[in-house]
Amino acid sequence: MSFHPLRIPVLLSIAALATGLAAPVRAAEPTPPSTAPAFQLPPLPYAPDALEPYVSAKTLGFHHGKHHQAYVDNLNKLVAGTPWAGRSLEQIVVDTAGVADATALFNNAGQVWNHTFFWQGMKARGGGKPTGRLLERIEKSFGSFDAFKEAFVAAAVGQFGSGWAWLVLDGDALKIVKTANADTPLAHGQTALLTCDVWEHAYYLDYQNRRKDFVAAFLDHLVNWEFVASRLK
């Protein structure tokens, strides 16, 4: 049997097509499960040197990049493979508050939440006096803005050891409270409006043992009053 020369390419194409149709179809590779940690270190809402000279880039580098990161890392290790996995940060803080066998989990979750909130409450060229409804509420609750500042500084300086000073909304009342270590208003049904971190790592590189000077600089030059007002119900 002879083939016309022009038919040979056509026959070869048909054969190749037939071979391709006969080849088994490979199943799609399964997507590997995500290995991303449950919680991530949130970026600072400003440049590392934005708060200078009141908080140095060096302090922020250690405070955010080392201390805050360590709390995030520890939290991820503690929740992995437990019933707490998959819960939000806020749920973990609330659900572990006061639970004896969940102290480490509460401490790290509380510190992640507190630090994230602390960063948001500051900005470059902040501080001074708030305006509008927030100022009215502060003056009504404390008598004057200066009286509020004095009470806030007293709470921050009077916190023995490590902790936080807060302006909170407790029910319908504005209050100044202080918490030790990782404790947080979130665990007590209060709405946090503003906080100042008075753990030594928050200020020691810049102020050494002068905590009062740090808190005064925080109020006079760093507070993001717009953020505070946005939290006011």
- What predicted TM-score, i.e. pTM, was given to this entire model? 0.84
Bond prior to 9 in cis (omega within 30° of 0): no
Indicate if 110 and 138 belong to the same structural domain. Answer: no
Distance from C-alpha of 204 to C-alpha of 197, rounded to nearest angstrom? 12
Model pLDDT for residues 62-117, shown as the tens digit of each residue: 999 999 999 999 999 999 999 999 999 999 999 999 999 999 999 999 999 999 99
Q: What percent of the chain has pLDDT over 90?
A: 83
Domain that holds residue 81: 57-120
Which contiguous run of DSSP H or E holds residue 119?
A: helix 103-120
Whether residue 32 has pLDDT greater than 60:
no
Indicate if 189 and 220 belong to the same structural domain. Answer: yes
Reduced to 3 states (helix: H, G, I; strand: E, B; else coil), residue 196 is strand
Query: How many domains does the chain fold into?
Result: 2
Distance from C-alpha of 63 to C-alpha of 69, rounded to nearest angstrom? 9
Indicate if 114 and 141 belong to the same structural domain. Answer: no
- How far CA 135 is from CA of 57, 71, 118, 131, 226, in Å, comes to 31, 34, 20, 5, 11
Whether residue 55 has pLDDT greater than 90:
yes
Indicate if 163 and 108 belong to the same structural domain. Answer: no
Model pLDDT for residues 161-192, shown as the tens digit of each residue: 999 999 999 999 999 999 999 999 999 999 99
Distance from C-alpha of 151 to C-alpha of 147, rounded to nearest angstrom? 6
The CATH number covering residue 74 comes to: 1.10.287.990
pLDDT of residue 233: 76
